[in-house]
Amino acid sequence: MVRANCYRLDGSWSDNRYRRERAAILNYLTTILVPILLVGSTVFVGATLIFTHVMPAGLIVRSVKDFNIDPAVWRENLKDERAEYTAFQKQRGIEGERAQKIQSGLWHGWPVYAGVALLLGTCATLGFVRCARAGVIELAAGIRKRRAVYARGDVFRMARAAEEAMQSEIEGPATDDPDKDEPQAV
């Protein structure tokens, strides 16, 4: 649709139309890419902070892999992960009662953390879909509007060219030699 707007009704290419259509596409891509970059950078920074200060990514993955509906079985499955997490906390300078409070908070609060992450992910996805939809609607409306403007301009230009051609036929052929049309005296 966009490339078709770059051609005039007579089939010739228009560089001005191409620039306008390219600007419209860039505007649309900006509408799409800015939310992706904002959400992506926020998620990246958040994940980096969590994986370096709260719990390493590999430990989280193994903890989820060992999940069991029965909390007692899950606690039993997490013995190795618990020892690794304790070593991680000692490396960060967190020991003793403070470490126990943090572990207890993570153990009892993980459904809340997962729910908040799911909610934020859903909100980000819905926001992106709305931005993308609004961008597509705006782009399509702009394409249709510019197509109508271009068509009116082309029709007007073609009508003016036809009038000029008819006017030149009425006035006769234009020549460079003014004496050529006059009869020569003998």
User: Alpha-carbon distance 116 to 122, whole Å?
Assistant: 10
- Is the full-model pTM beyond 0.95? no
- CA distances in angstroms from 163 to 92, 151, 155, 186, listed in the order given: 85, 18, 12, 39
Average pLDDT of the segment spanning 127-142: 88
Place of tokens 């934020």: 120
Question: Are the C-beta atoms of residues 78 and 63 closer than 8 Å to each other?
Answer: yes
Averaged confidence pLDDT in the chain = 84
Q: What's the pLDDT tens digit per position in 8-60? A: 888 888 899 999 999 989 988 888 888 888 888 988 998 898 888 788 888 88
Q: Which tokens sit at 43? A: 């998620």
Only one residue has tokens 């006017």, namely 167
